[in-house]
Amino acid sequence: MGRFFQLFILTLYNIYAWILLILIIIGSLIGTRLMLLVVKRNWEALYFKVVGRFVSIWGRLVGIPFRVNPNNRQLLEAGQAYVITGNHISFLDLHAIAIGIPAAFKPLSKVQNTRIPILGPLIRKAVISVDRSSPESREESMQRMKETVARGVSVLVFPEGGRNRVLDQPLRERFYDGAFRIAIEHQIPVIPLVITGTRNTLPTGKLLFKPGPIGIHLLSPIPTLGMTDQDTESLKQIAYKAMESQILALDPYFNPSK
């Protein structure tokens, strides 16, 4: 009876959490669209700020608080574009970035996300979409990222190339070059982003939320001034090692004391 009751409560909790999340996301996206008709602001500056505030409320209501490192804002220089590289293990990472990055940015997103009914058309303008199976699409997305940072807007990339499906592995085995090539070409800093806690709350391949905190931590910027294409591999390794060590130190999955 105890096991059945626990399963019943977990099911009710997840029905509540998913319905509330869907309503909040749709409401915030539609609200952002309407606001842009009145307030002539940069889309990237407004979009994730609005979505982040609504999702933060959702987190508090369902027992999944998003905890933003207070140093995040101090690490970002006003007017400076960055290439932000984040780890990716959960659907909730997409909401964590909206809450934890206090600057205008555009994320690289797989094209399938822009084809989701209702949600897809609402996010299409806010992301740089890519079809990873198409060389032409990958090249086009690289060009759009270059144009974005040239406007002074940061780009966010998950350099693992997809979600890490091995829970006991902090990151996938390797990073792809694209984000680091752009940073070197434009001589702008790479700033690693570490998202923690999602292995416990909603890991890859799972549909059931579990209460628990999610942390969003920006790490120290990695300068690229003076670097050339030949430095791409070393830049990747610097970012990889910084992110790996912080995931091991800060994620409750690897460090239960956190």
Phi, psi angles (nearest 5°) of residue 65: -70, 140
Q: What is the pLDDT along the chain (258 residues), one digit of tens a residue?
A: 577 778 888 899 999 999 999 898 888 878 777 777 776 666 666 788 888 889 999 999 999 999 999 999 899 888 899 999 999 999 899 889 999 998 889 888 877 776 776 666 667 777 888 877 788 888 888 888 888 898 888 999 999 988 899 989 999 999 999 999 999 999 999 999 999 999 999 988 788 999 999 999 999 999 999 999 999 999 999 999 999 999 999 999 998 877
The pLDDT of residue 46: 76
The pLDDT of residue 183: 95
The pLDDT of residue 43: 66
User: In 3D, which of 64, 90, 87 has the Cα closest to residue 205?
Assistant: 90
Fold of 2-250: Glycerol-3-phosphate (1)-acyltransferase (3.40.1130)
Which residue shows structure tokens 């990716």?
A: 88
Taking CA atoms, 103 is separated from 4, 15, 51, 147, 165, in Å, by 46, 33, 13, 17, 29
The pLDDT of residue 5: 77
Q: Which helix (H) or strand (E) holds 194?
A: strand 190-196
The pLDDT of residue 41: 61
The pLDDT of residue 232: 96
Record the pTM.
0.89
Q: Are 220 and 75 in contact (CB under 8 A)?
A: yes
Rounded to whole angstroms, how far apart are CA atoms 37 and 59? 28
Rounded to whole angstroms, how far apart are CA atoms 141 and 113? 15
Rounded to whole angstroms, how far apart are CA atoms 236 and 179? 9
Rounded to whole angstroms, how far apart are CA atoms 216 and 117? 29
Domain spans, the chain: 2-250
The pLDDT of residue 118: 64
The pLDDT of residue 207: 86
